[in-house]
Amino acid sequence: MFNSIADVTSGLLGQQYIASDEIATVVYLAEKMGKPILAEGPAGVGKTELSKAWAGATGRELIRLQCYEGLDESKALYEWEYAKQMLYTQLLRDKLSQIVGEAQTLGQAADRLAGEENVFFSMRFLLPRPLLRAIMSDKPVVLLIDEIDRADAEFEAFLLEILSDFQVSVPELGTLKARTQPMVVLTSNNTRELSEALKRRALYLFIDYPSLESELNIVRMRVPDLSPSVAKQCVEIVQRLRGLDLKKSPSVAETVDWAKALVAINARHLDDKTLNDTLTVILKHESDIQRARRVLSAGKARDVGVR
Amino acid sequence: MDERVVEFVSALRSNGVRVSLAESVDSLKAVEVIGVLDRDRFKNALKATLIKEPADVPVFEQIFPLYFGSGGPEMQQPQGLTKEQQEMLERALDELRQQIQELMRMLAQGQRLSDEQLREAARKSGVTRQMRGMNQQVREWLTERMLRQLGLTPEQLRDALESLMKQLKMQGMDREGRQEVSETIQQNADAMREQVSRFVGQNMLNQPSDNPRRRRIDELMNRPLSSLSDAEAEELRNHVRRLVAQLRARAALRMRRANQGNLDAKSTIRHNQRYGGVPIEIKLRRHHLKPKLTVIVDVSTSMRPVAEFLLQMVYEMQDQVSKARSFAFIDDIHDISQPFNEHRPEDAVPLVLHSIPPGHYNTDLGNSLVTFSREFLDTVDRRTTLIFVGDGRNNYNDPRADLVQMLKMRARRVVWMNPEPPYMWGQGDSDMLAYAPLCDAVHQVATLQQLADAIDDLFQHRV
């Protein structure tokens, strides 16, 4: 548990996550108020990473629910394990006939069988999916609901019910209430407008691309082997590329990948050739790469001209 | 503090940020947790609980300092004056003209303006609660007027300070003492100016209980689209996304309720093979609930505003539609599905409208229908809802109602959206009376509200 905002910052830092003051404040608030966090922002700025770091820092288990179009309750909440039930019925056939065997009438037999129903509709045959797992867990967990904007609007409505009272009703078993309240992080890449109700319930956190300085810190922390001058150059180029109108701007994750790649090929400095060879690590569209090459080489030419 | 936060929330609301009661309660709880000592953290706490759209952040940033400003530099008293010098200052102040005496006394002693004084000055300089809206220029102008009223403008202050200095010299205060007094007064004057500026800012913002922006949107929703100014249309365009989110939620809910279908025998058998063919998991046939839309839009000059909003809304709702094709026509038909598949709706609409410029064409739906049924007939089948958007005015060309009749036979539904009121149909070159009986529904869509209702209606008629 965190006792102060500074605690949060240092806890997350221990998980190699550099949290801005804003992020730390929101996490602290979520912890104290028991509210979900809704994190929005461009892809690859560390929304998912935040929840991992949070779980790591507090020693909680991270349960992840990846959303996609068509995700429904049975995949998110629970399912009955039919196959296992079938198997048990087969194996327990003798025992069952024993129970039913002594019955005089059909009605009696049915009654006796009904008495054993609980065996088959018990937790043993319930296959908990992420949401139920988070609720049923004995120890508090961090529940990451990733890319909620990809799920259908109806799933969002269903999620609201769960997030507001942290209980689930399974018709055969009754209501299952959360033993410990999970900390929830919802992430969204903002591909569609989320419902007002969901936003109302959550603490809102907009994570944008980091500034040059903090991105440099991230690279230094994640890839300590890279020489400082190359790291700086690397981050500067990425920051510059984000300013261009590209199909897909390079994310922080890709900056880190790039830095790792540079270490792997043992680059001492970032010359034209290395840059050309490794640009594909941060840019994933051919047209973007062409464009970046043009812009970067033009920049270089201008620098030379000045000298 | 709580009261201040509540005032702040109402200022946010009056600037068009949606803050629910639950959210304002949350913000108070958050403040309790975070405390008020660290201003940045306090700000972040309010931001996380109150602001849920990136678009609202600028408003928040603008208003926050007005309510929880650093308070400007603190007022101070002149330091290091001897008792004698204090008395000199006192006497010098007494000697000043009545007008500036009070002000200089406050500045020299480091007193803030009281609320009463502020209100008095505001009344005299015409800063009233009627001042609406956040206009930076108006705010500066009013601040200037209030400062003048209080005698705090730089020129006024310089004059006043000069006469005070003269008096002090006559009283025999040494240079250093005078320097000290003068510096303190100037610093205090800065603080006081800040106080006035914030007072004006708050007065302009704090119009609780009524919300000009929301009322305005309501009003715009009910204004004919063709009579909107550019700025108003822009405002509405921003509103469309929110509107669509509501419509989508409604549509999705309906779908959820209607999700039970008939037994799908084939799928049930296939799925239950693993249980030895015992039908344990029942598979139901899902209805083809999502409608397939084919939209034919008139983009002639008179129809442009309506066409624009309709296309945007239809494509924002795309996840509720199984397939959407769209065509635009003036004198002939153009397939415009391509841009919508490649761009986001808000980018595609201007692109399409730009590629088919309005001009002195001859609107001809008849001809367009001929081309449509020759080339794109495959886009209409028994699952398709065919939507015409147009005023039905054909410049006395052949209406070709027979083709609409033919399309109606093929399509599931034919819906017509016409911005003109029914009494105008059939007047002049309008062929609406010929088309109307062939349609399953005709909606009048002069305003955004009507458009939203019409689209909502589309999703109610599922198979």
Q: What are phi and psi of B293, to 5 degrees?
A: -115, 135
Half-sphere exposure of B320 (CA within 13 A, CB side): 28
Q: Is B317 a residue whose pLDDT tops 70? A: yes
Residue of B nearest to A70 (CA): B319
CA distance A135 to A137: 6
pLDDT higher than 70, residue A171: yes
pLDDT at residue B7, as a whole number:
84
Give chain A's mean pLDDT: 86
Rounded to the nearest angstrom, the minimum Cα separation between B180 and chain A is 40
Asked if residue B132 and residue B188 are part of one domain, the reply reads yes
In a shared domain, residues A23 and A85 = no
The answer to whether B48 contacts A25, with C-beta atoms less than 8 Å apart, is yes
For tokens 């801005």, name the residue.
A20
Q: How many domains does chain B have?
A: 3
Selected residue with higher pLDDT from A301 and B341 = B341
| Alpha helices in A59-195, H assignment, sequence order | 73-76, 82-91, 93-101, 106-115, 117-120, 130-136, 153-165
Contacts of B30 in chain A (CB under 8 A): 29, 33, 203
Contact A33 B245 (CB under 8 A): no
Residue type, A146: D
What integer is the mean pLDDT of B247-252?
74
* B29 interaction partners in chain A (CB closer than 8 Å): 33
Helix (H, G, I), strand (E, B) or coil at B238: helix
Range of the domain at B94: 85-196
Q: Say if residue A71 is in the same domain as residue A83.
A: no
- How far apart are alpha carbons B31 and B50 in whole angstroms? 12
Say yes or no for a CB contact (<8 Å) between B252 and A153.
yes
Q: What is the dihedral of CA B350, B351, B354, B356, to 10 degrees?
A: -120
Partners of residue B45 in chain A, C-beta under 8 Å: 25, 29
B48, B245, B249 member nearest A203 (Cβ): B48
Residue A123 pLDDT > 90, yes or no?
no
A5/B252 touch (CB, cutoff 8 Å), yes or no? no
With tokens 């701007």, the residue in question is A249
Q: In the listed set A149, A171, A206, which residue is the last one of a domain according to the structure?
A: A206
Please name which of A48, A26, A32, A36 lies closest in space to residue A166, comparing C-alpha atoms: A36
A299, pLDDT greater than 50: yes
Q: Which of B196, B214, B230 is the last residue of a domain?
A: B196
pLDDT at B348: 83
- Tell me the backbone φ, ψ of residue A151, rounded to 5 degrees: -75, 165
Among the residue ranges A19-23, B287-291, B300-304, B414-418, the one predicted with the least confidence is: B287-291
B463 interfacial to chain A (CB closer than 8 Å)? no
Q: Hey, CA dihedral for B244, B246, B248, B250, is it positive or negative?
A: negative
CATH number of the domain bearing residue B361: 3.40.50.410
Comparing alpha-carbon positions, the chain A residue that sits nearest to B274 is A83
pLDDT score of B209 more than 50: no
A15 and A27 co-located in one domain: yes
More confident residue, B396 or A235: A235
ipTM attached to this prediction:
0.80
| Same domain for A67 and A9 | yes
Query: How close is the nearest chain A Cα to the Cα of B274, in Å?
Result: 8
One-letter amino acid of B198:
R
Percent of chain B with pLDDT over 70: 86
Q: Check whether residue B142 and residue B192 sit in a common domain.
A: yes
Predicted local confidence at residue A36, as pLDDT = 92
Is residue B41 less than 8 Å (CB to CB) from chain A?
yes
Lowest mean pLDDT among A297-301, B108-112, B212-216, B372-376: B212-216
Q: Are A83 and B275 an interchain contact pair (Cβ–Cβ within 8 Å)? A: yes
More reliable by pLDDT, A163 or B253: A163
- B96 with B64: CB under 8 angstroms? no
Q: B101-153: per-residue pLDDT in tens?
A: 777 777 777 777 777 777 777 777 766 555 555 566 677 777 887 888 777 78
Q: Do B33 and A206 touch (CB under 8 A)?
A: no
Cα separation, B38 vs A289, whole angstroms: 45
Query: Which of A8, A203, A208 to mutate: most B Cβ within 10 Å?
Result: A203
Q: Residue B247 pLDDT more than 90?
A: no
Cβ distance A199 to B52 less than 8 Å, yes or no, reads: yes
Same domain, A298 and A224: yes
DSSP designation for A80: E
Domain that residue A96 falls in: 79-125
Instruction: Dump pLDDT digits (tens) for B342-358.
Output: 887 778 888 888 888 77
Predicted confidence (pLDDT) per residue in B78-96, tens digit: 666 777 777 777 777 777 7
Q: Which residues contact B446 (CB under 8 A, 6 or more apart)?
A: B224, B225, B226, B306, B419, B420, B421
Radius of gyration of chain B from Cα atoms? 34
CA distance, residue B252 to nearest chain A CA (Å): 6
| A200 → closest Cβ in B22, B48, B249 | B22
Please report which confidence band the pLDDT of residue A307 belongs to, taking 50, 70 and 90 as the band edges. Answer: very low
Strand boundaries in chain A, DSSP class E: 37-40, 61-66, 78-80, 126-128, 141-146, 167-170, 174-177, 183-188, 203-206
User: How many DSSP H helices and E strands does chain A contain?
Assistant: 16, 9
Mean pLDDT (chain B) is 80
Query: Do residues A293 and A176 share a domain?
Result: no
Domain identity same for A225 and A302: yes
How many domains does one find in chain A? 3
Q: What is the DSSP string of B336-383?
A: -HHHHHHS-HHHHHHHHHHHS---S----HHHHHHHHHHHSGGG--TT
Query: Token pair of A207, please?
Result: 């994570």
Q: Look at residues A206, A235, A257 and tell me which one is the last residue of a structural domain.
A: A206
Which residue, chain included where needed, has tokens 């800040």? B194
Residue in A33, A195, A200 nearest the CB of B245:
A195
Please state the length of chain A: 307
Percent of chain B with pLDDT over 90: 6
Q: Are residues A50 and A152 in the same domain?
A: yes
| Structural domain includes residue B309 | yes
**Token duo for residue A81:** 């394990």
Task: Tell me the nearest-neighbour CA distance from B135 into chain A, angstroms.
Answer: 27
